[in-house]
Amino acid sequence: MSNATFNGKKAYNNMDAVFYPNSVAIIGARTDSERELKTGWVGKLTRFDYKGKIYPINPKAKEILGHRAYPTIGDVPDPVEYAIITVNRNLVANAVKECISKRVKTIHIYTGGFSEVGTEEGIALEKELKEIIENCDCRVIGPNCLGVYSPSGGPSFDPGLPKEPGSIYSISQTGVGSRRLIRLAMGKGLLFKKAVSFGNSIDLGANDFLEDALQDSDVNLVFLYLEGISEGQRFFNILRKCAEQKPVVLLKAGMSEAGKNAVASHTASIAGDKQVWEALFKQTGAIKVQTLEEAVEQMIALQTIRPLKGRGVGLIGRGGGLGVIATDMCESVGLKVPQLGKKTRKSLEKIIPASFGSTVGNPVEIGLGHTGISEQYVDGLEIVASDPQIDCLISFLNPADYIHFGFEGWAEDTINAMKKAKGIINKPIALVFLPGLNSEVFATVVEIQRKLFEHGIGCFSSMDTAIKAIGKMADYYEIIAD
């Protein structure tokens, strides 16, 4: 990364001290060990098994959770690469000054209560922080944010997140949302290389992290939650460049008028005009999502379905009405549900006799049922996939029915059938488990989804989200091909 991308700061020219610091000081670590272990940053790093050095800073403690404590960061005998500031907002400015004197490379200001609360006091305190850091060599994340999750040896804002790194980069202005996104994603097997929640962004912001994502060759997918943006032209250029190389899933919050107000009191950002943002999506190829849940489904699609060659979808599943609903959805997002060719129908009729009342058009009624996952199901998928009009298969299964019909072993059968299908079929397959309210089914489905994801098969939580995600993928590959 060139120095230019760092606003002219030259202390270091990459994000290593942000994501892989070899030491972390926690300014404002609590003396109450139990509380610190449960919700404090010393506790988080310890529980996440952070391998670098941990320096709790608190004038009243000698040791916190087994780490020697120091009265101020200046008292730490060794260099400190990364500092987390968790003290009351009135003490933050002083803590930042001490970090600068100590030549800390990255300062994460966790504390909130600055410009986002909209009071004179909060705004003044943030202005003061900006002035303090203006000419320093260090980089600042925050204030009012969770900071970093870096499973490749760095810190983590949530000790419960996976320690295994993946290939997704999550860049988010919001903290709770960021943690929620990663937790939802990890439940489905998605893994992250880096994640950051940067809050009010008095220094490092979306542009900087987006550049890092662009240049990090381990990263193949970017998630971006934004409320507002500074340096609009720079953002546009980086975003377009990045989206050309790896998909960027973008949740722009504060699109509505009331949403703009909400943004102002969340991270004190200026949300910007809706039309400008809509145009930006079209011009950059960034993939627009509106909720975190939708973002996760979109990422599942992007990680499991290769670029679509066309918009023809083969819908496969039992339940004619469900098929009709799915067909309407496909059309509404610009996908096609073409009638299958004569040859395809003939082949299907051999495995699904018309006298059963099941249809062989498209949607095709095959799937699990009374007789379980059979050779027939995989054969059916293969026949539909062989139709030249079909670019992608979406199959829906209804686990609640398997319980209903007392069909044991369905989980294993499903996994085996899909693994087999994946080996035979040369077109993308998306699998939808229709949601239900049975806890046992829920647990089993989560397990199946994770296992199939390891085999490169994407499982979705509803027809709606699957179809939307695949529709947006089709749009994305058309835009970047232009």
Residue of 180, 178, 247 lying closest to 213 (CA atoms): 247
Complex with a copy of itself: residue 357 or 423, whichever CB lies closer: 357
Is residue 458 close enough to count as binding a copy of itself by CB under 8 A?
Answer: no
Kindly tell me which residue out of 21, 28, 154, 175 binds a copy of itself, with binding defined by CB under 8 A. 175
| Near a copy of itself in 225-244, by CB under 8 A | 225, 227
Least separation in angstroms between CB 111 and a copy of itself: 7
101 touches a copy of itself (CB under 8 A): no
State the amino acid at position 422 in one-letter form: K
- Choice from 150, 156, 174, 414 touching a copy of itself (CB under 8 A): 174
293 binds a copy of itself (CB under 8 A): yes
User: What CA–CA distances, in Å, run from 96 to 53, 109, 360?
Assistant: 20, 8, 68
Range 23-42, binding a copy of itself (CB under 8 A): 38-39
Does residue 104 contact residue 25 with C-beta atoms inside 8 Å? yes
162 is a site residue for a copy of itself (CB under 8 A): no
| 338 secondary structure, DSSP code | P
Contact with a copy of itself (CB under 8 A) among 354, 409, 412, 424: 354
Give the count of residues interacting with a copy of itself (CB under 8 A). 97
Tokens of 94: 């002083």
CB of 360 closer than 8 Å to CB of 349:
yes
Contact between 366 and a copy of itself (CB under 8 A)? Answer: no
Q: Which is nearer to a copy of itself, 351 or 479 (CB)?
A: 351
Identify the sign of the CA torsion 190, 222, 179, 140.
positive
Tokens found for residue 245: 């190389």
Residues 232, 461: contact at Cβ < 8 Å? no
Q: Check residue 56 for interaction with a copy of itself (CB under 8 A).
A: no
The span from the CA of 258 to the CA of 247, in Å, is: 29
Q: Is 409 in the site for a copy of itself (CB under 8 A)?
A: no
> Are residues 467 and 434 in contact, defined by beta-carbon separation less than 8 angstroms?
no
Residue 70 has phi, psi (to 5 degrees) of -125, 150
Q: Which of 332, 346, 375, 416 binds a copy of itself (CB under 8 A)?
A: 332
Which CB, 76 or 394, lies closer to a copy of itself?
Answer: 394
b/e for 306-316, b at 16 or more Cβ within 10 A? Answer: eebeebbbbbb
Is 76 or 129 the residue whose CB approaches a copy of itself more closely?
A: 129
In the window 262-291, what residues touch a copy of itself (CB under 8 A)? Answer: 262-263, 265-267, 290-291
Binding string, 60-89, against a copy of itself, x = CB under 8 A?
----------------------------xx
Q: Which of residues 176-205 bind a copy of itself (CB under 8 A)?
A: 176-178, 180, 183-184, 186-188
Between 17 and 251, name the residue whose CB sits nearer to a copy of itself.
251
Strand-pairing partners, residue 321, are none
Q: Reduced to 3 states, what is the DSSP secondary structure of residue 467?
A: helix
